[in-house]
Amino acid sequence: MGIGNFTKEKEWNHDLLVTIVGQLLVLVISFAVNKILAVRYTNEEYAVYGILRRLASVVTYVSLMAMGIAVPKYLAEYKEKKDDVTYSLFHISSLSIVGISTIIVSILVYGFRDSASVFFLNPLLHSVGRQLQIER
């Protein structure tokens, strides 16, 4: 085993350890926050929180446009090849795309906030309101 392999293996082990510790911290903090929320709020309020959390994750995924999957792969490849120009272009273009898509999604969410809140937060009221409009 050469010295180069030993240092790469040591870096890999360090990255693995940091990833595992980070994931465990996120797990423990998420558990603690959910436990506090479940004890403090009623079932209906906790259900609203769950719906909003899922909605936020969907909006985040859409605004990122799967950049969290593609960009790290290509950035790592071009950094390894020492292609600084392409590496910089990937940084600039990915940040621009994420910024623009975040602004667009934010405008859409803000523009449709009333109808979205009725649709996502109170489906029963939404369906009853439609039935009342149909009957009139």
Report pLDDT digits (tens) over 3-48.
555 556 666 677 788 889 989 998 999 899 888 888 888 887 787 7
> Would the CA dihedral through 102, 108, 113, 117 be positive or negative?
negative
pTM of the shown model: 0.48
Positive or negative CA dihedral for 80, 83, 84, 85? negative
Average of per-residue pLDDT across 65-85: 74
How many angstroms separate the Cα of 74 from the Cα of each of 5, 38, 69, 90?
23, 41, 9, 8
